[in-house]
Amino acid sequence: MSRDDYSQRQKAKDAEYARQYNEWIASLPADKLRELKAQGLDVPDVAHHGNGSAKGDAADSPLMRIGDDPAVLPEPEPEPGPSAAASDAETIWATVRRVLGEVLNHGNARLTAECIALVSGLGYDGATMTEIAKRHGITRAAVSKRCVELTEMLDLRPSRAMRSLTARKSYRSARITNTSSNELPPHPPEPES
């Protein structure tokens, strides 16, 4: 396709847009037309294709004067006080201490370590909660519960190996609804002898 073909098609599209815009303007009540005129929107704005932008070349804009480029302005001096790196380091160490505390104080350190690897996504080697449960001789639900506890404690979003928060809420609601509708009626009173 040549540039001339594109230009001709674009001119036709621009002309059709201008025609429809003018028809719409003509159909408006006088008060709406005054509002549009005040905003400079009473005429169609057809892009001038080929010269950089709808309003011309950006380099011609007064906003692009020499000296106004924020990229070349000097960086502001940082305010005195604790550095961001120090506070980041303290946050990291606080998290490491909590993780180590969980591993050391839990009855099954290996299970906790595997769950931390799963919820962090860092050590995700494809092991599923079902596989972890089999290795430790517990239910998948127990592994899931431990993983949820860890994500809440560490303020993490569920990893890709876990159900999303939305899915968990949905499953919980469905389980509550199902459980409440399947409740057994109360036992009749024991006959007195």
Mind listing the pLDDT tens digit for each residue in 44-65? 887 655 444 455 566 666 655 6
CA distances from residue 132 to 65, 118, 146 in whole angstroms, order as listed: 63, 10, 11
Structure tokens at 185: 């009626």
- Is the pLDDT score of 27 beyond 90? yes
Q: What is the mean pLDDT of the chain?
A: 75
The domain spans of the chain are: 1-52, 87-164
pLDDT of residue 178: 73
Determine contact, residues 151/162, Cβ cutoff 8 Å.
yes
pTM higher than the cut 0.75: no
Number of neighbours of residue 156 by Cβ within 10 angstroms = 16
At residue 18's C-alpha, the angle toward residues 14 and 21, to 5°, is: 135
